[in-house]
Amino acid sequence: MSNNQNSTVALESAGAFLWVVDLDDLEMTYSTNFDNLFGYRSESILKKGGIGVLMVPEDIDLMMEKLEQCRAGESSRLLIDFRLRRSDGGICWCRSVGSVREPHEGKRELAGITYDISMEKQKELEIGEMRDRFELIAQNTSDGILVIKGKTIEFASKSYLGQLGYPEEEEIGRTSEAVANLIHPEDRHVIGEIFEAIGRKEKTLIYLYRAQRKDGSYIWREDLANFFYDENGDYYQSIVVARDVTFRVETTKKLEEAKEKAEEVARHFMTTNRKNGHRISTRPAQD
């Protein structure tokens, strides 16, 4: 097998083809494996006006804009994603990468490679749909949702912003060190608990602490942190569900205080009656 044949086979297996555009008349020539990749015969495409007729109409203007920039000398490189129609009617996402060259004096052309990125675009679409669903859920729950990528806040739901009173532009990009500074000094032991949990590769952790609002006041927060690790076991992300439990904590505290006070009163009553020589009977009175 010749070197050219080897190159053609390699390009086909990679879902790619080579091309050259004459920048004087914008005529395009391309490697023969284009036919096998998209199911067309080169001759029929050339008669119809070239590969441009296969492009999805919405992408043509951007492609022409990029080519004109190279033609006018405004750019020496081309990088563009676009869609092509296959012979079976399917749509293929492609990425073209090229650079301007001068094979001889007075001749300028744009040469490069185009390859199939349909799987990449499909993954982007799936990730985008998952992100949209996540944001829909996050924005419609009373609990605050926080996404920390590495050591930086990447997403904060409206409920989360409402808990502490900071605008989105102040929360997004806040570092984990800055988040730690919002924890009440007496509760900062939770920081160590979080790092210990990540060190043990735990997936979740629940912790209770006081968080400082923008106005300087504190609320009680109960956070459920979900930790994520890559294929090497290295931590890379947290998704935190943050709940304002101030009412619950303060109510529980008041009940405990009331119980302690009632027990103190009872002890005082018993002690006073013993000192006065009174006997307290628990038997019912007899008629």
pLDDT per residue as tens digits for the range 142-187? 788 889 998 899 988 888 999 999 999 999 999 989 999 999 999 9
Domains 9-122 and 141-248 share a fold: yes
The CATH number, out of the four listed (3.30.1330.20, 3.40.50.620, 1.10.1420.10, 3.30.450.20), of the domain defined by the range 141-248: 3.30.450.20
Question: How far apart are alpha carbons 49 and 81 in whole angstroms?
Answer: 21
Would you kindly state where each structural domain of the chain is located, as residue ranges?
Answer: 9-122, 141-248
User: Which two structure tokens, joined as six digits, stand for 11?
Assistant: 């390009």
CB atoms within 10 A of CB 276: 7
Question: How far apart are alpha carbons 49 and 183 in whole angstroms?
Answer: 66
CA distances from 161 to 2, 106, 283 (A): 64, 61, 60
CATH 3.30.450.20 is the classification of domain 9-122:
yes
> How confident is the model over 47-92, as pLDDT tens digits?
555 677 788 999 999 999 999 999 999 999 999 999 988 888 889 8
Q: Give residue 223's identity as a one-letter amino acid code.
A: D
Structure-model confidence comparison of residues 221 and 270, the more confident one: 221
φ, ψ at 253 (rounded to 5°): -65, -40
Checking if the pLDDT of 128 tops 90, the result is: no
Specify which residues 204 forms β-bridges with.
Answer: 226
* 91-104: strand order across its sheet: 28-30, 16-22, 107-116, 91-104, 77-85
User: Which two structure tokens, joined as six digits, stand for 233?
Assistant: 């076991």
Q: Do 87 and 40 touch, CB atoms closer than 8 A?
A: yes
* 152-156: strand order across its sheet: 152-156, 144-149, 235-244, 218-229, 204-212
Q: What pLDDT score does 50 carry? A: 63
Give me the half-sphere count of Cα atoms (radius 13 Å) on the Cβ side of residue 116.
19
Question: How far apart are alpha carbons 280 and 71 in whole angstroms?
Answer: 106
> How confident is the model over 218-245, as pLDDT tens digits?
999 999 999 999 888 899 999 899 999 9
140-154 in b/e form (b: 16+ CB < 10 A) is eeebbbbbbeeeebe
What size, in residues, is the chain? Answer: 287
